[in-house]
Amino acid sequence: MSDFDVIVIGGGPVGENAAARTAAGGLRTALVEAERVGGECSYWACMPSKALLRPGHALAAARRVPGVPVGDRLDAAAVLRRRNDFTSDWDDSGQVDWAVGAGLEVVRGRGRLAGERQVEVDGRVLTASRAVVVCTGSVPRIPGLPGLADVPYWTSREATSAQEVPSSLVVLGGGVVGVEMAQAWARLGSAVTLVVSGARPLPRMEDFAGDLVLDGLREDGVTARTGVKATGASTVDGGIELALSDGTSVTGAHLLVATGRQPATADLGVEQFGFGAGDALPVDDTGRVEGLDWLYAAGDVTGRALLTHQGKYAARAVGTAIVTGATDPEPWTAPVATADHTAVPQVVFTDPEVASVGRTGREAREAGLDVRVVDLDIAVAGSSLHADGYRGKARMVVDERRRTLVGVTFVGPDTAELLHAATIAIVGEVTVDRLWHAVPAYPTISEVWLRLLESYGL
């Protein structure tokens, strides 16, 4: 039996943040990790995927500015080596050193809830006097597609860690993982086919975002099959074949299944507390799990906002709540994760980039808000200098009753850096009348803010 004040199950960035907070607050904290400290984001998601994408973006950006000498193609071997550097060649010793330096006790093994305030790790039982925090993240959601179980396929892990460029790749799914990996591997030389069941990818975002990303993928040579569903999978000639709902099929050397993710609560012992294996753990804004005063959760496992930065934000709230004993704090003050409801920022790192925060126009109307939507092409001095033929769009969703922004979406090359200004405006509930006095610098792409407000009528 080993005693701690706090036990955190899951050593990814969310678990690291929660554990660091409680340790800094003077609580003896164990960080339990079954694979690599640093988690999915460091080794198979955020970092390696963006390392694969960035070289292609840089090459494309250089080509859009006359006079910049560029080559015909990427050096795939150099790109993969740089990607490997960002994952430390999948060695987590540096992250373990950080954890120890932060005052954490790293416990290797798969953690499972063994009872109230108890966690079993490969036969060893740990007890927590204060709290247990579940930060196990999410796992790929695999569809029940006939034949898929008999076909070798990639998930996001294989797609971000492959050591050779596949000669051809079929991507099933038009979400963030699907479009990012389709573009990354296409720009590295793979013949990529993207299968999307809807009319466009990125169905949860504004329609124009999916349309512009689809245009960008096609310009990079991706064959996009939209409006069709996969009906079966099989092997053929050393590769894979997907049968489609329109009676046709697509083939490739590899298949990437990118059909979403689900909370990693299977084999975690949550059933003994009334929760379903594979289901999200319901939490309040302090991260406390519904009905239990000692169990907390943060990140993807809660199903609230499946994004690393939001998980880290929620983890900081959890850690602070545990240290301070907070149970019912006022909104918009620490330690609460209220931004998970209406102010979640997200970037899709394709070319063009999609940067969004808050509600889409559709979501705002469904929430019963009286909204006005302002759409605008990003055509300002800053964008024209940034790239010849710059193509981009912006949308501002305004709550007319309060005259505040509730949603903003930018699509275009390098729009991600515009996002935090929109996030601050939404979180701070800044009125459009006040925003008029936030003067954008000339000549930058941020001039689009002025044009949006002018189009609104100011």
Q: What is the pLDDT of residues 275-308, one digit of tens each?
A: 999 999 999 999 999 999 999 999 999 999 999 9
Look at strands 223-226 and 191-196 and give their pairing.
Answer: parallel
Section 4-14 average pLDDT: 98
159 φ/ψ sector (left φ>0, alpha ψ -120 to 50, else beta):
alpha
When the pLDDT of each residue in the chain is averaged and rounded to a whole number, the result is: 96
Tokens of 340: 């998970």
Cβ atoms within 10 A of the Cβ of 263, count?
27
| pLDDT confidence tier of residue 327, bands split at 50, 70 and 90 | low
CATH number 3.50.50.60 is the correct assignment for the domain at 2-38+92-139+262-339:
yes
Q: What is the pLDDT of residues 374-390, one digit of tens each?
A: 999 999 999 999 999 99
- What is residue 336's predicted lDDT score, i.e. its pLDDT? 81
Each domain of the chain, given as residue ranges in start order, spans 2-38+92-139+262-339, 148-259, 352-456
Tokens of 3: 């005693």
Helices and strands, number each (H, E), in the chain: 15, 21
Tokens of 291: 């009905």
CATH classification number, 148-259, choose in 1.20.1250.20, 3.30.70.20, 3.40.366.10, 3.50.50.60: 3.50.50.60
Q: Could you give the 3-state DSSP secondary structure of residue 270?
A: helix
| pLDDT confidence tier of residue 325, bands split at 50, 70 and 90 | confident
* 2-38+92-139+262-339 and 352-456 agree in CATH topology: no
**pLDDT score of 239 more than 70:** yes
- What is residue 326's predicted lDDT score, i.e. its pLDDT? 67
**pLDDT score of 333 more than 60:** no
- What is residue 330's predicted lDDT score, i.e. its pLDDT? 55
Percent of the chain clearing pLDDT 90 (strictly above): 95
**pLDDT score of 169 more than 60:** yes
Q: Is residue 372 classed exposed, middle or buried when 0-12, 13-18 and 19+ CB atoms within 10 A define those classes?
A: middle
Q: Are the C-beta atoms of 291 and 254 separated by less than 8 Å? A: no
CATH architecture of the domain covering 352-456: 2-Layer Sandwich (3.30)
Section 318-338 average pLDDT: 74
